[in-house]
């Protein structure tokens, strides 16, 4: 229950809750006391980080994710070009070997604007809901959304420029995304037009890949330029309602990144690399309530933190799977 | 008030002036972002003003004359209709269409819908009902209505024949010629004509072709339901020779007549704000 409430808080844009002294489990208090006693020296910390930076599997999850994202998007392209009925349509709605799939946010807009339900859309929406429920919700963002990959590369460029003070990193209030979400729902309902679809870089890019480029790519480039020069990962962090929709699905999903406080050095490498760093606030010294904590549903399960963590304190887990096996 | 009570009623410590200033700035920044997002969203509605971008939509598109609101609302912009069309008549609109971005349309002069799929594949592919499943046969479609816009340039009206490739050698549009291959539409350029009196709009009209097939006892796909109930176009006799193409109430607005018309600009065009029987669209 705490996981659900905390996840929803973070999705809405509130700061992660800080534990009071009485909120911490006794074993965590003991653990933290031990950590204080056996302090790490700066050299030891650097040595561990350097070791991680050279490890053969330091990009394990990133590579798997990029391969998945590229494969999914290429499947659409290949299906159309070779005219095989494998994955027809685009990211907004498609058919996988004839079976309907509909992106949850696109389907939501159509339902709000059109206010009729066609059986095919219901089938597609329910199927995709179950799929991402099983896979982690915002997993969609980092493992399937074509904009995410471009934004990830733009983010690298942004960090490189920002380090040299050639780009700014303006931060906005994450609560804005919740207001945009409600605003898109109300405006779609009132106007009867699928307003967000016009702005959605996910839909625009997916269609551009499959059906060929158009002027709409200028909007995508403008978003990327904004993220490179003005504000890091601004679209995904502060605006995109698709992330909220899948985030809400993720609240109920068993696939999570789990944090173990035991070996954590609290040096913050994970928060520095994360798309949504607030979800990792629990890794700040003194924030952990229990020995293990599941990272909230705003997490896109991209695995960058799992890859970079020098102490294996972050790992993927499927809740309940160990009990079943 | 005792210190304990103060603590109970206000658990948060008061913000420092610096922190409050940061929050104020963040609020202003976020508001500006909000205005930007709101502006971009509403900008999507601009192209709708005056229906400047009203388009010829695929068969079954739910719309009432120029009012496309329902169609734009229901379309999920996935392009599955594009993928199934055998003559690739359907294209997707770009950002200049605003909220219509990613919606399917047909540029009839370049490539009309010739119903060579027989079964309305685009309608079957549509996951949201933006192309309504209420229609089952080509003759039920009401995309628009043909109109002889330039009778003075019409070869039939002028009493002239036509010889050669209808749209020239470079035209890439496709049509299904049953006599050539029922399943594979071929370029119009590969099928030259030699006509005493030009009757291409009538000759290639998918509705008229179907009527002829039904009259011969061989309805399309062997299905008598495919037989159109009414004629779409005929050539009327004219005093002083030649013939006048007359659009009839069986016209579905598919655009083949506009595509095949050999004069440039086409003598016959599709109006998107009219349909043969308005009762069916209301």
Q: What Å distances lie between residue B109 and A66, A231, B127, CA to CA?
A: 42, 46, 28
Interface test with A, best of B24, B84, B101, B124 (most A CBs within 10 A): B101
CB contact under 8 Å between A121 and B129, yes or no, is yes
DSSP for chain B, please give it: --HHHHHHH--SPPPPHHHHHHHHHHHHHHHHHHHHHHHHHHHTTGGGGGGTT--PPPTTB--BTTB-HHHHHH-----HHHHH-TT--EEE--GGGGGGTT-EEE-TTTS----TTSS-HHHHH-SSSSB-TT--SGGG--S-EEEE--GGG-TTTTT--EEE-TT-TT---EE--TTT-SSS-EEGGGS-EEESS--HHHHT-HHHHHHHHHHTT--GGG-GGGS-SS--EEEEE-TTSSEEEEE-TT-----HHHHH--SSS-SEEEETT--S-GGGT-
Burial grade of A248 (CB within 10 A; 0-12, 13-18, 19 or more): middle
* C-beta of residue A140 within 8 angstroms of C-beta of residue A242: yes
Mean pLDDT (chain B) is 90
pLDDT at residue B278 is higher than 70: no
Q: Is the backbone peptide bond immediately before B158 cis, with ω within 30 degrees of 0?
A: no
Tens of pLDDT, residue by residue over A277-292, are 999 999 999 999 999 9
pLDDT at residue B5 is higher than 50: no
Tens of pLDDT, residue by residue over A163-211, are 999 999 999 999 999 999 999 999 999 999 999 999 999 999 999 999 9
Report B:120-159 residues touching A (Cβ under 8 A). 125-130, 133
A226 contacts chain B (CB < 8 A): no
- Across the interface, of B94, B99, B129, the residue whose CB is closest to A193 is B99
Query: B237: left (phi > 0), else alpha (psi -120 to 50), else beta?
Result: beta
Give B228-258 as a 3 state SS string. CCCCCEEEEECCCCCEEEEECCCCCCCCHHH
Percent of chain B clearing pLDDT 70 (strictly above):
92
CB contact under 8 Å between B77 and A170, yes or no, is no
CB contact under 8 Å between B92 and A124, yes or no, is no
* C-beta of residue B85 within 8 angstroms of C-beta of residue B131: no
DSSP tag of B47: G
Distance from C-alpha of B170 to C-alpha of A239, rounded to nearest angstrom: 47
Q: Check residues A139 and B118 and name the one with the higher pLDDT.
A: A139
Supply the ipTM of this predicted assembly. Answer: 0.91
Report A:76-95 residues touching B (Cβ under 8 A). 79-80, 88-90, 92-95
User: Chain B: nearest CA to A212, how far in angstroms?
Assistant: 10
User: Chain A: nearest CA to B102, how far in angstroms?
Assistant: 7
pLDDT at residue B2 is higher than 50: no
Tens of pLDDT, residue by residue over B93-149, are 999 999 999 999 999 999 999 999 988 999 999 999 999 989 999 999 999 999 999
B77 contacts chain A (CB < 8 A): yes
* C-beta of residue B276 within 8 angstroms of C-beta of residue B250: yes
Taking alpha carbons only, the member of A145, A144, A141, A146 closest to residue A213 is A146
Rounded to two decimals, what is the model's pTM? Answer: 0.91
Q: What pLDDT does B4 receive? A: 45
Residues facing A255 on adjacent strands? A318
Question: How far does Cα A319 stand from its chain's mean position?
Answer: 18
């Amino acid at each position: 229950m705490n996981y659900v409430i905390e996840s929803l808080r973070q999705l809405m844009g509130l700061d992660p809750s800080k534990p009071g002294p009485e909120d911490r489990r006794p074993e965590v208090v003991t653990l933290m006391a031990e950590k204080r006693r056996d302090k790490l020296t700066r050299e030891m910390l650097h040595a561990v980080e350097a070791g991680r930076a050279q490890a053969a599997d330091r990009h394990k999850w990133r590579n798997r994710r990029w391969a998945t994202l590229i494969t999914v998007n290429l499947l659409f392209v290949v299906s159309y070009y070779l005219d095989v009925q494998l994955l027809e349509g685009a990211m907004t709605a498609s058919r996988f070997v004839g079976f309907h799939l509909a992106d949850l946010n696109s389907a939501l807009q159509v339902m709000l604007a059109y206010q009729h339900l066609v059986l095919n859309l219901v089938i597609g929406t329910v199927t995709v809901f179950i799929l991402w429920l099983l896979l982690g919700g915002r997993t969609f963002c980092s493992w399937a959304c074509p904009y995410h990959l471009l934004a990830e590369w733009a983010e690298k460029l942004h960090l490189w420029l920002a380090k040299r003070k050639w780009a700014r990193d303006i931060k906005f209030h994450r609560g804005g995304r919740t207001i945009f979400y409600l605003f898109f729902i109300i405006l779609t309902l009132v106007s009867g037009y699928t307003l967000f679809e016009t702005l959605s870089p996910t839909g625009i890019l997916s269609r551009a890949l499959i059906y060929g480029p158009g002027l709409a790519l200028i909007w995508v480039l403008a978003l990327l330029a904004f993220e490179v020069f003005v504000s890091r990962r601004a679209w995904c962090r502060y605006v995109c309602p698709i992330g909220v929709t899948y985030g809400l699905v993720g609240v109920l999903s068993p696939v999570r990144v789990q944090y173990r406080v035991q070996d954590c050095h609290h040096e913050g490498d994970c928060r520095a690399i994360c798309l949504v760093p607030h979800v990792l606030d629990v890794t700040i010294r003194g924030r952990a309530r229990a020995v293990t904590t599941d990272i909230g549903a705003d997490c896109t399960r991209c695995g960058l933190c799992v890859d970079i963590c020098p102490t294996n304190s972050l790992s993927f887990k499927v809740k309940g799977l160990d009990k079943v096996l | 008030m005792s210190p304990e009570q103060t603590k109970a009623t206000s658990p948060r410590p008061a913000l420092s002036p610096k922190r409050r200033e940061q929050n104020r700035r963040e609020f202003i920044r976020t508001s500006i972002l909000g205005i930007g997002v709101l502006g971009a969203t509403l900008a999507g509605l601009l192209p709708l003003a005056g229906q400047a971008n009203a388009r010829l939509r695929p068969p079954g598109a739910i719309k009432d004359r120029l009012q496309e609101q329902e169609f734009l609302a229901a379309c999920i912009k996935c392009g599955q209709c594009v993928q199934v069309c055998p003559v690739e008549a359907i294209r997707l609109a770009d950002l200049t269409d605003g909220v219509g971005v990613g919606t399917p349309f047909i540029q009839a002069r370049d490539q009309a819908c010739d119903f060579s799929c027989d079964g309305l594949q685009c309608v079957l592919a549509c996951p949201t009902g933006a192309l309504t499943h209420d229609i089952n046969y080509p003759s039920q479609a009401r995309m628009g209505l043909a109109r002889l816009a330039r009778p003075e340039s019409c070869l039939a009206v002028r009493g002239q024949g036509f010889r050669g490739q209808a749209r020239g050698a470079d035209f890439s549009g496709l049509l299904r010629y049953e006599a050539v291959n029922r399943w594979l539409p071929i370029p119009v350029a590969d099928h030259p004509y030699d006509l005493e009196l030009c009757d291409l709009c009538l000759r290639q009209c998918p509705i008229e072709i179907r009527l002829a097939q039904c009259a011969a006892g061989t309805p399309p796909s062997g299905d008598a339901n495919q037989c159109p109930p009414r004629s779409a176009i005929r050539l009327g006799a004219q005093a002083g020779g030649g013939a006048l193409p007359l659009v009839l109430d069986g016209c579905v607005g598919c655009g083949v007549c506009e595509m095949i018309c050999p004069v440039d600009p086409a003598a016959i065009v599709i109006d998107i704000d009219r349909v043969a029987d308005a009762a069916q669209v209301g």
